[in-house]
Structure 1
Amino acid sequence: MKILYFAWLRTTIGKSTEEITPPETVKTVSDLLDWMPSLGENYSSALEKRDLLRIAINQEYADPEHVIKPDDEVALFPPVTGG
């Protein structure tokens, strides 16, 4: 699974993209966000305010119950504002 990080998530986690293999118990976006803090303190810090995050699966917005697959591209980013 390819994960993309944007804005302060990229800064806090320390990378813009990575390939991960979550355990088989990770079935949904919510499961993924529950599991990712186990990857390290930087992930815990970045994901502690989950209510501020937007998620896209294969370039389409997704809700927390969206089912994910091993070959999906998951983008994590803060809300986007215009200006």
Structure 2
Amino acid sequence: MSEEAEHRIGEGPAMRMIPTLPEGAAQANRRRAVERELRGMLLDEYLADHERRNGSLGEAERQRARDLFDSALGQSI
């Protein structure tokens, strides 16, 4: 009998899982993942452009920009 260590949420080694979902749920998840990635890329481009023109931002300013961006688009990244 083998003993497996118990890990709390967020701990332990990575494990590959292949969930089975209805096709509609899988499609919706893919769309959301792509949208989230594109929003992140867009925000990164806006911030990089702003920093090129105005100098670097502090972490508090970056967070405020993220919050405003999320609020304007109605969803968090």
> Shorter chain as normaliser: what TM range?
under 0.3
Question: Which protein has the bigger helix share?
Answer: 2
Q: Normalising by structure 1, report the TM-score.
A: 0.26
Larger Rg: 2
Higher relative CO (CA 8 A, sep ≥ 6), structure 1 or 2?
1
